[in-house]
């Protein structure tokens, strides 16, 4: 008989007096969260595609409190597991007197943490952080922000391929890639079930947003890409499975309780009468996923989070895209208006989470701008446009620089915030990103433009999926040595839009598997990158090693 708890608990959104806890169970049942101060909250499970879930909204907690909790299913405690070697899982509510301290990163593959897995994919930096937290509980961060590619639906592990082989065979399209919701559920189980990482996710609040590999490489790069994918007979099952599972496993937990209660899917879950048996939302969530793929403007995956002295805005830079040639935009009109409303001051620090870096190293930004102009038909019409499209898809030239109108609009708005035109200017405006499989910092030339705020791009990628050495060398060369020739080339091509404000690559790139850290120190930020290191063959006990430390301000 399988254990009652398949996956979780995950501690998701945490506020001053609230906490959201997510679980997947083996069967229908009643899930109860019991906190140390005597709070007990119980909810029934709901189902999708034969899987059972509960999202427990714990309310009435004390601000700034820290307390252990347990999870029970049908009255029996299932977490912590008896004999578990890890510290008790806990809920730490928002303490506005305590400066923010959080982790972030992206791109994490789920392969074993043994000699073979370490040789092929390096040490999992998230797991190294979990082991370090267990060793030293005195300085735990507040939460962790995952900026995409938690899953690799298109580049599956051996364990995932074995699951697919047992279920439908590897000859059934799309072969070893994930096909539908059921296979996504297994992908999440593999990603979140390692004991050390599972403990971390049970005790450290998390926020999450998707990127392309959560669906497929180059997801929504262009209309040509979108049209080609929709010709494939298995694609509708894939995209519906991706977005439906994303809502259940990732998105719902991003929302504060009051926001979740307004959500169209949650309202149906909350309104269900348990006396009628377990609610099955399979048809509802499938229809929802199909709609938000076809009509992304009908739903917003972007969200905000109150950090106390600071604010975090996390934006969907994948599903919300406009792909029509001549009107390409990173965010549709509705999403863009919402984002503009979030870009204001009156906070100590403003953090913007976007899976794709907003500020690339200048040379790479110029390369993407040139390619965007080429793919739009400049310098030769359709023939050149086809070449630009092939280049865009071949080497992933599809970041903010490849959506130039969106880039220019957001940059201007951010500069206005930095000048105090939308409330008192924060000390910093920091874009947090991943995706590119290297880590770096870029900074807008704030003295040149008389900005009150420092505007930064801070990248941490990968958590566990390092680039081959030859690709590292190419990226390092592009980032550091081609800035001037690429800028000269871009300026000689009048069709290419030049950025209104310039920025510099100030640190990096470095290519280790890393977890990034951010600590607020008054008007300053302490930025860190840390990797896991295995010594003496102790693959189960990596130590945390600091790669870089940068003080901003």
CA distances from 232 to 196, 214, 225, 229 (A): 39, 18, 12, 6
Return the C-alpha torsion angle 512, 209, 158, 473, nearest 10.
-30
Going by DSSP bridges, is the β-strand pair 349-354/51-58 parallel, antiparallel, or unpaired?
unpaired
How far is Cα 45 from Cα 24, in angstroms, rounded to an integer? 9
| Structural domain count of the chain | 1
Give ∠ CA 460-463-466 in degrees, rounded to 5. Answer: 95
Q: What pLDDT shows up at residue 321?
A: 97
Q: What pLDDT shows up at residue 419?
A: 97
Give ∠ CA 108-114-115 in degrees, rounded to 5. Answer: 110
Select from 544, 549, 546 the least CA-distant residue to 124: 544
Q: What pLDDT shows up at residue 116?
A: 94
Tokens linked to 293: 């793929």
Select from 83, 24, 88, 28 the least CA-distant residue to 56: 24
The CATH number assigned to the domain holding 493 equals 3.60.21.70
* Residue 412 buriedness (CB in 10 A; 0-12 / 13-18 / 19+): exposed
The three state secondary structure string of 380-418 is CCHHHHHHHHHHHHHCCCCCHHHCHHHHHHHHHHHHHHH
Peptide bond just before 509 cis, omega within 30 deg:
yes
In 303-403, which ranges are continuous DSSP H helix?
Answer: 333-342, 362-375, 382-394
Per run of 10 residues, the mean pLDDT along the chain (length 553 residues) is 91 98 98 92 98 97 96 96 90 96 97 93 96 86 97 97 97 96 98 96 98 97 96 97 98 98 98 96 98 97 97 97 94 97 98 98 91 86 86 91 96 98 98 97 96 98 89 73 76 85 95 97 98 93 96 95
Peptide bond just before 260 cis, omega within 30 deg:
no
User: Which residue reads 């870009």 in tokens?
Assistant: 343
Select from 367, 376, 403, 402 the least CA-distant residue to 490: 367
Q: What is the domain range of residue 254? A: 5-552
CA distances from 137 to 87, 250, 519 (A): 9, 26, 17
Q: Max CA-CA distance within the chain?
A: 71
């Amino acid at each position: 008989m399988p254990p009652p708890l398949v996956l979780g608990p995950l501690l998701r959104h945490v506020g001053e007096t609230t906490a959201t806890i997510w679980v997947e169970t083996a069967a229908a049942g009643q899930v109860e969260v019991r906190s140390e101060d005597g709070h007990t909250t119980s909810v029934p499970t709901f189902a999708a595609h034969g899987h059972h879930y509960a999202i427990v909204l714990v309310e009435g907690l004390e601000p700034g409190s820290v307390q252990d909790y347990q999870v029970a299913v049908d009255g029996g405690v299932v977490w912590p597991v008896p004999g578990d070697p890890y510290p008790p899982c806990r809920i730490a509510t928002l303490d506005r007197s305590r400066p923010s301290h959080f982790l972030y990163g992206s791109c994490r593959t789920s392969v074993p943490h043994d000699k073979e897995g370490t040789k092929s994919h390096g040490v999992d930096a998230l797991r190294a952080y979990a082991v370090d937290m267990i060793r030293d509980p005195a300085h735990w961060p507040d939460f962790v922000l995952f900026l995409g590619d938690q899953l690799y639906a298109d580049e599956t592990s051996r364990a995932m391929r074995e699951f697919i082989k047992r279920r439908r065979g590897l000859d059934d399209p799309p072969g070893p890639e994930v096909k539908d919701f059921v296979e996504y559920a297994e992908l999440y189980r593999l990603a979140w079930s390692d004991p050390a990482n599972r403990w971390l996710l049970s005790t450290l609040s998390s926020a999450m947003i998707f990127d392309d590999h959560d669906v497929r490489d180059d997801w929504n790069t262009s209309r040509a890409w979108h049209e080609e994918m929709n010709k494939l007979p298995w694609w509708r099952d894939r995209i519906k499975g991706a977005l439906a599972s994303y809502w259940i496993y990732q998105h719902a937990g991003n929302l504060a309780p009051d926001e979740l209660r307004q959500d169209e899917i949650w309202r149906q879950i909350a309104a269900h009468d348990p006396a009628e048996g377990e609610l099955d939302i399979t048809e509802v969530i499938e229809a929802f996923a199909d709609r938000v793929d076809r009509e992304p403007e009908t739903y917003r995956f972007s969200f905000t989070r109150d950090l106390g002295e600071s604010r975090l805005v996390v934006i969907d830079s994948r599903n919300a895209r406009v792909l029509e040639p001549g009107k390409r935009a990173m965010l549709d009109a509705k999403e863009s208006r919402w984002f503009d409303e979030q870009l204001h001051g009156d906070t100590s620090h403003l953090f913007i989470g976007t899976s794709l870096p907003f500020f690339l190293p200048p040379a790479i930004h110029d390369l993407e701008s040139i390619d965007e102009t080429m793919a739009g038909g400049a310098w030769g019409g359709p023939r050149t446009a086809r070449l630009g499209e092939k280049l865009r898809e071949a080497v992933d030239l599809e970041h903010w620089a490849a959506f130039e109108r969106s880039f220019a609009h957001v940059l201007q708005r951010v500069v206005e915030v930095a000048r105090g035109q939308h409330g008192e200017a924060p000390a910093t405006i920091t874009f947090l990103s991943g995706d590119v499989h290297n880590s770096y910092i870029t900074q807008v030339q704030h003295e040149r433009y008389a900005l009150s705020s420092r505007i930064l791009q801070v990248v941490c990628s990968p958590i566990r999926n390092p680039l081959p050495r030859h690709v590292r060398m190419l990226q390092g060369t592009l980032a550091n040595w081609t800035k001037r020739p690429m800028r000269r080339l871009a300026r000689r091509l009048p069709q290419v839009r030049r950025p209104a404000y310039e920025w510099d690559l100030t640190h990096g790139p470095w290519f280790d598997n890393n977890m990034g850290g951010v600590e607020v120190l008054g008007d300053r930020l302490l930025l860190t990158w840390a990797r896991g290191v295995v010594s003496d063959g102790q693959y189960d006990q990596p130590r945390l090693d600091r790669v870089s430390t940068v003080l901003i301000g």
